[in-house]
Structure 1
Amino acid sequence: MALDVGADFEKRWLNAPQAVRQTYIDDLSRICELFATDVRLENWLSYNKQAQRQSYERIENAYAELKAELVEQARIRRQHALEQSLAKKRAQQQAYLDDLQLDERLQYQQQTQQLQALQQQLSQESHHYTERYTPTPKLRFEPNANTVISPEIQQALDNLKIRLELEAEGLIEQIQQSVNSLNQKIQQAADEEIRYILEQHPSSNT
């Protein structure tokens, strides 16, 4: 007797669940019982009918479990692929944010350096401007030894010297006040500009 198991039997057999293969083996063993000399056909047929129903149920359950397992494996693969995709997107977003924060810090540093350079330049110019208007030596009138000056002329010269000194000191004081006011305004403007940049770029402080 030849047993036709169909094409690709080895592949189908190895791919079948273990419970299915065991059921087929049990069925074959039950069929082989017919070759025993003491078997009673009526009893075997009754027993075989019940055994076939059980075999069918075991095969159905085995393939249902296999299907559920394959579905679960597919779900896990999809979930894993989704998590990888989300992780990649988060990494790209974080890299973008890092580049943005780095650019903001570089801009803040550049603007701060420019403001510091401007403040230093203005301070130097103010200092130079102040030095140009430092108090000049007091006026001195030293007549020639051979010059004869009357008391009236000497009094007029002394009065003139005093008046010029007072006017010069008053003018110098006004200039110094103007320079000090200009320095204060320059410092205030620089502080306000730095404060504005800090408010516009809060992340640069971290």
Structure 2
Amino acid sequence: MKIDDIRRSYTKDKLEFEKLTADPIAQFELWLKDAIAAELPDPTAMCVASVDEHGQPSQRLVLLKDVNQDGFTFYTNLGSRKATELSANPKVCLHFPWHPLERQVIVYGTAERASSSQVAKYFLSRPKESQLAAWASEQSRPVSTRQALMQKFAEIKHKFEHGEIPLPSFWGGFLVRPHKIEFWQGGEHRLHDRFMYNRQSDNSWSIERLCP
């Protein structure tokens, strides 16, 4: 198989300046609704990129759990690699790859810890099995076998089989406050439509078209 021959044309839609909203969060919400309506697998999945102390980037897929005028929120084990890296260097990039719609959104921003009340509210809304998994998994840490992980899960399940599962002290969330957001719509002949929103000092947004 020659992977350099794999390509396709992008013809589904166009993105025009006149049709953009003045606010990128509103524009994002419109596109997210389109992704959900199209029944894309995991429409809230986003790639979160962080950087360690040596300048080595790392990425992983995480589910977006809230978006509003403050920014984009996701949750994680606070001992995980991404949480450790974001605590040391809060600069972060999010990428939403809505390939079937020939769309991408890239968010550039700064991560900060979500409030404890927000974290608790979301944790208690999760399915019980997800709550138990948060307790059982020391995210990003080595584990000898899957059997050992499942044994830990069984022990945690037994421990909390009666009553409410408490919020782990090592579990939390991050709010990504954006300062740039790019919207990408695939175009014919690789002449894609790209628009970058840049936050201004008065918190308004400027918009510029980028070459594909």
Identify the structure with the greater strand proportion: 2
Calculate the TM-score normalised by the size of structure 2. Answer: 0.18
Greater C-alpha Rg: 1
Calculate the TM-score normalised by the size of structure 1. Answer: 0.18
Identify the structure with the greater helix proportion: 1
